[in-house]
Amino acid sequence: MNQNLARQLEILPLNLSHHLKITVIALAVGVIVGLPLSILIARRPRLRYPVLTIIGVIQTIPSLALLALMVPLLAMLSDLTERTVGTGFSFFGFYPTVLALSLYSLLPIVRNAVTGILGVEPTLTEAAKGIGMTPRQTLLRVELPLAAPVIVAGLRTATVWVVGTATLATPIGQRSLGNYIFSGLQTRNRVAVLFGCVAAAVLAVILDFLIGALQKATAERRRAMAIASTVALALVFGGGLVAPNLLAYLRGVNRSDQVGIGAKTFTEQYILASLFEQVLADAGIAARRNESLGSSVGLDALARSEIDIFVDYSGTIWANAMNRPASADREIVLNEVSEWLSSELGIRSLGRLGFENAYAIAMRREQAEELGISTIADLARHAPSLKIGGDYEFFERPEWFDIQRRYRLDFEREVTYDSTFMYEAAYRGEVDVISAFTTDGRIDTYDLVLLDDPLGAIPPYDALLLLSPEAAERDDIINALTPLVESIDEEMMRSANGLVDRDEDKKPPYAAASELRRMIEQKGTP
Q: Which H or E run includes 263? A: strand 259-264
In DSSP notation, 446-492 reads: TTEEEPB-TT--SPP-EEEEEE-TTGGG-HHHHHHHGGGTT---HHH
Position 22 confidence tier, pLDDT thresholds 50, 70, 90: very high
Position 391 confidence tier, pLDDT thresholds 50, 70, 90: confident
pLDDT at 251 over 70: no
CA distance 277 to 397: 31
CA distance 464 to 456: 21
Secondary structure E strands in 314-441: 348-356, 359-364, 387-390, 413-416, 433-437
3-state helix, strand, coil in the chain (%, to 5): 70, 10, 20
* pLDDT on residue 184: 85
In DSSP notation, 299-349 reads: HHHHHTTSSSEEEEEHHHIIIIIS---S---HHHHHHHHHHHIIIII-PEE
CA distance 294 to 312: 11
CA distance 471 to 216: 54
pLDDT at 376 over 50: yes
Parallel, antiparallel, or unpaired: how do β-strands 433-437 and 359-364 relate?
antiparallel
pLDDT at 326 over 50: yes
Tell me the three-class secondary structure of 490-509, residue by residue. Answer: HHHHHHHHHHHHCCCCCCCH
Average pLDDT over all residues of the chain: 88
Parallel, antiparallel, or unpaired: how do β-strands 387-390 and 433-437 relate?
parallel
* pLDDT on residue 526: 45
Among 31, 29, 39, 34, which residue's Cα sits nearest to residue 140?
Answer: 39
Among 364, 427, 422, which residue's Cα sits nearest to residue 393?
Answer: 422
Give me Rg for the CA atoms of the chain.
Answer: 27
Question: Which residue type is seen at 387?
Answer: K
**343-361 pLDDT per residue, tens:** 999 999 999 999 998 889 9
**198-225 pLDDT per residue, tens:** 999 999 999 999 988 888 887 787 888 8
Parallel, antiparallel, or unpaired: how do β-strands 348-356 and 462-467 relate?
antiparallel
CA distance 320 to 297: 12
pLDDT at 457 over 90: no
Among 253, 258, 263, 260, which residue's Cα sits nearest to residue 285?
Answer: 258
Position 1 confidence tier, pLDDT thresholds 50, 70, 90: low
Position 255 confidence tier, pLDDT thresholds 50, 70, 90: low
* pLDDT on residue 219: 77
CA distance 98 to 347: 28
Q: What whole-number percentage of the chain has pLDDT above 90? A: 48
Q: State the average pLDDT over residues 323-338.
A: 86
pLDDT at 445 over 60: yes
**466-499 pLDDT per residue, tens:** 999 999 999 999 999 999 999 999 889 989 998 8
Question: Which residue type is seen at 176?
Answer: S
User: Is 238 within 8 Å of 20 (Cβ atoms)?
Assistant: no
Most confident of 54-68, 250-264, 374-388: 374-388
* pLDDT on residue 372: 94
Question: Which residue type is seen at 397?
Answer: R
**129-166 pLDDT per residue, tens:** 888 898 899 999 999 989 988 998 999 999 999 999 99
CA distance 262 to 123: 61
**268-309 pLDDT per residue, tens:** 999 999 999 999 999 999 998 888 887 778 888 899 888 999
User: Is 333 within 8 Å of 317 (Cβ atoms)?
Assistant: no
Of 3-12, 265-274, 384-393, 402-411, the one with minimum mean pLDDT is 3-12
